Amino acid sequence: MSERALRGTRLGATSYETDRGIDLAPRQTVEYACQNGHRFEVPFSVEAEIPSAWECRFCGQEAVLLDGDEPEEKKTKPTRTHWDMLMERRTREELEEVLAERLAVLRSGGMNLAVHPRDTRKSA
């Protein structure tokens, strides 16, 4: 091409290649549906392994493959509460002993509130 033919074009922004004479890879279209009722199709190569779950393109929820196997449940650890972790470190008898000691300190007035006085001033 001469310089004159390229003048005024956005070089790099536009491709001058065509799809003529190119054989695309064979494809299959798979349909997914999410809990919100959205249905959409995703193209895959014929050779590709089809995932049983896909993110919904409308709402972002997990969509499930229609006419396919259910996705495998991921194994998760049960959530550990504060009580569970406490019971790993101490027995119930030890905890009752600690509680009795702390209650005795509180009842005897052994905690010095002057060390941590509350601010009783009114905010202006």
Known binding site for Zn(2+): residues? 34, 38, 56, 59
CB neighbours of 69 closer than 8 A, spacing ≥ 6? 52
* Angle at 76 (CA atoms; ends 75, 79), nearest 5 degrees: 160
Residues annotated as binding site? 34, 38, 56, 59
Q: What does the buried/exposed string (b/e) look like for 19-42 if buried means 16 or more CB atoms within 10 Å of the residue's CB?
A: eeeeeeeeeeebebebeeeeeeee
